Chains A and B, each alone.
Chain A
Amino acid sequence: MLGRTANGIFWLFRYLERAENTVRLLDAGFRMALTRNVATSEEEWRSVIVTIGQRKAYEAKNGTYAGIQVFNWILRDRNNAESVLRMVESARTNARMVRAGLTREVWEAINETWMRLSDALARPVRETNLGDVLDLVRRQSTQVRGAMDGTMLRNEIYNFARLGKFIERADNTARILDVKYYVLLPAVSYVGSSLDNAQWDNVLRSVSAERAYRWLNAGRMDPRSIAEFLILDGRFPRSLAFCYSKISSNLASLARDYGNSMPCHVMLAQCEALVREGRIDEIFETGLHEFIGGFIARNQALAAQVQRDYRFTE
């Protein structure tokens, strides 16, 4: 396949994944804001903006952190080059570029996502229909996933798609943790208070993990096991460990297919060890923030190496 096609496929799925994760984050922020007074709810919206790395861009164009302003900025603002709408547009542009590498069903699911979202975001979003918009993105993402799963050949194209998706997902989960890590740090005065519980719950909600976590932890809510769950639990599909088990199997499949390993395969081993063999006590000893920072950097370096090894660009 063409290097440019591999690049297009890789980014198509990175953009889709990022759009979906942004929506999950918005959903958690919205819920949190509803249960807070104005001051703390603005604080919550600010943290959503910080998590997606847009504080500078947002503050350059907006004066306050009012909810309606924040979610319109994130979803559709023309001045925001990384709005959800723009991400879905970019995904769809990439899909057009690599059209011949996708099945008709996958292409139509992506194209339809873009068509519906453009319609839904043609006018400013209000609190009354925010839920519908967020729901639309989640449903459409599910549709793309289903079409991928049911119709795509398990070949190199599929592997590059999955690499894009899980590298992006690992990055997103790590960033959410990074912004919220202070919530998870032991702070004597707040331990056991209801505020803590709500904030911890919010960390889980940001990656749609609240239900899965409760299932596995039977009502126990403490920072250490939340962090452990999101970093190390290979059963949860948005955890770092899960993402890396997928990245590892897709890279292995490429190596088999091409008959040789690449520098990215060596690099993979290092990233994977972090989340496969890591122990939560050690992570807290070195510092959660330091751990996550190191992970994000290695994850990015791996993405760059994959792009070099498979000649994504000249």
Chain B
Amino acid sequence: MSRLEELKTRIKEALPGLECVIGWQKGYDPLHNTPLFMRTDADVDKLEWGPLNVHNPAVYLPTFTGKKVGVVVKGCDSRSVVELLQENLINRDNVVIFGMPCTGVIDLSKVKARLAGAGVSAGTVTAVTDDGKTVSVTAGGQTTAMPLAEVRADKCGRCQFPNAVLADAYVGDPIAPAAPAAAADADLAALDAMSVPERMAFWRYHMERCIRCYACRNACPMCVCRDHCIAQSREPHWLTQDDTATEKLMFQVVHALHLAGRCTECGECQRACPMDIPVLALKKHLNRTIRDLFDYQAGVDPQAIPPLLQFKLEEDNIKERSW
């Protein structure tokens, strides 16, 4: 029995006690998998596992408040689950976590770029296969082999959690984390390389492209305010509906600062962005600060208190300026 079949069996065993189990299924074309909500054994048979499972299913968990659900997670997804548990947004008794070792997911933008390089449109994909190392995409009648290491998401290149950090049912043997890859943080490095005024120009340019669709927020598993996001409320009225780069940047600042000490860098905000705006860089920068200041990483320990919800009488790494 393959690992996926074994996983399906475990899910089917648990399903009678659960409202549903969240996972992935084939989407509208072979290149796109989409979320799957398994309520019957037939649903479970649709479950997919592999590099096309880009979505973070943890985002759906808080919507099931009060109901017992299952969720299939990649390592990174599991950190979001941990963070939700830590923040009291889901109840440990009401979630059953299924995990498998993950070798990385693709970055669709990179795959599309490869296809474009080969002269074919991503809209014509007819088949996708992978052997764990290479993804082969057939489009326009020709098959392009892409090493996973080259088309995987940036986060996978530096992933320290290929196995679920928390799981009730884990299928397969845990695998070793990837060695940290410098290139994976190219977005942050690029910003670091800019002068402060250049960074202002950088964001101004990108914010002018922003269509204010809030896909970044809606995909974020930690954006738990949902219908009550302060980006769209009048009480409090943080942002106007003015279509200005300033207001749009302010929204990105709200999102980033609300995630300070909570973001697990699942990258869903940036993946969901239809304009390919590198919004994850803001959160990565904050995470680097949080690590430097508080030696803390979000979504690892369900018992931990996020660093901005606690304090030390004497802070180790904060030095007050003298006047």
Chain B binds chain A: no
Residue ranges of B at the interface with A (Cβ–Cβ < 8 Å): none
